[in-house]
Structure formats: C-alpha cells, structure tokens
Structure 1
Amino acid sequence: MIKYELIIYWSENDQAFIAEVPELPGCMADGETYELAVANVKTVIEQWIETARELGRVIPEPKGRLMFA
C-alpha cells in the first residue's frame, strides 16, 4: 500500500496528467487519464524504493499530508 502523498495535475505542455511524489525526489509519472497517472506512479514509487535500497540510500518514511500552498 502506498502511503506517500501525491500531487496530481494536468500539464498542458505534456497533454497528460502528472503525478509527483514530493517525499521521493524526482519521483513522478504521467498518464493520459488521472487514473492512469496514479497507476503509473505506483510502479515508479516501487522502482524508486528498489533502486534506493540497491544503492544503500535512505528511503524516507511517508509523512502524510504535506503543506505546499
């Protein structure tokens, strides 16, 4: 189960929904639909964590709701 906060928005430049994971630097995905962006970012989160483990890097604990406004 993914517990990281997601920021999802429409990108006119990309003509796609973008899903970013602020707690995992550089972790983001896109999709033609909102649902596809969320599904894609779940895969990217798993890959991000797997790569961090392989490199011996710290994996941030999910903090829940962040304040970005």
Structure 2
Amino acid sequence: MRYTVLIEKNEDDGYTVTVTSLPGCISEGDTWDDAIANITEAIEGYLDVLDELHKPIPVEITVQTHKEITA
C-alpha cells in the first residue's frame, strides 16, 4: 500500500514525517533516509494494530514528498 506522507525538516536538522491518512502516525529521523525507514516501520505497526482490532485498513494510492530547497 502507498500513503501520502508529509516530510518536514525540523529545527534539529532532522526530519519529521506524518502520514496524512493515518491519524497519529508520525515518526522522525536524523537523516532523510532514516526518516523514511522509520515512517515505514511506523506505518507497518499502525496497520498491524488496525488488523488486530479488526478495523478497516485505509487505502490510498498517491505518495507525495516535499523537500525544502534553499538557495
């Protein structure tokens, strides 16, 4: 499955990642790659809990990323 994520650079030069269609599914990472790996793990855990609780799994087909570029 694919989910839209919002990736923001935080004040500590790391990244905060939020999954827009999974309320409360948020993670962080010191690098872009760490942030992506961590949110992937968070999404898997989130979906596992929904499955265990017999809750519907949200379906989304678009993934968007945002990278702030300064000149």
Normalising by the smaller structure, the TM-score range is: 0.7 to 0.9
Bigger-Rg structure (1/2): 2
Question: Which sections of structure 2, spanning at least 5 residues, go unmatched?
Answer: 65-71
What is the aligned partner in structure 2 of residue 28 from structure 1? 26
Q: CA deviation at 1:58?
A: 1.5
1:9 has 2:8 as partner:
yes
Distance 1:25 1:10, change over 3 A: same
Number of matched pairs: 63
* Root mean square deviation of aligned Cα: 1.6
What is the aligned partner in structure 2 of residue 45 from structure 1? 43
Calculate the TM-score normalised by the size of structure 2: 0.79
Q: CA deviation at 1:64?
A: 1.7
Question: Which sections of structure 1, spanning at least 5 residues, go unmatched?
Answer: none
Q: CA deviation at 1:48?
A: 0.2
Percent identical: 30
Calculate the TM-score normalised by the size of structure 1: 0.81
Give the secondary structure class of the aligned counterpart of 2:41: helix
Q: Which has the higher contact order (CA 8 A, sep 6+)?
A: 2
